[in-house]
Amino acid sequence: MGTNFIHIEENGIKYLVHPEGSVFEGMKIRENPDDAFYNAIKRGMKKPEEWMYMYSENGKDYFKNSRSRLYRAYSQFGIIEKIKSRIQKER
């Protein structure tokens, strides 16, 4: 079976979703993982070079530490926070 991802958008975030029948069926992955890192760093992630973005679920982005293999989740910014960020950038 090929990797025919389904493209969706939720709360302004674009995801790739594994199709039905896949071992990872329904798993959401951000189309742009850099956005997940940008969000996590704003939420307090230290040493982003030690983390790998894995997937997103229930409004959180999940990362795995490349050394310890432990997972950590960071809440995604909501639409209000995105608007505030854009306003600050325009000033």
What pLDDT does residue 31 have? 94
Domain boundaries, the chain: 6-90
One pLDDT digit (tens) per residue for the chain, 91 residues = 456 888 999 888 899 998 888 888 888 999 999 999 999 999 999 999 999 999 999 889 999 999 999 999 999 976 666 677 778 777 7
Helix (H) or strand (E) holding 84: helix 79-90
pTM, rounded to two decimals: 0.77
Q: Positive or negative, the Cα torsion across 39, 12, 75, 57?
A: negative
Contact 8, 30 (CB under 8 A): no
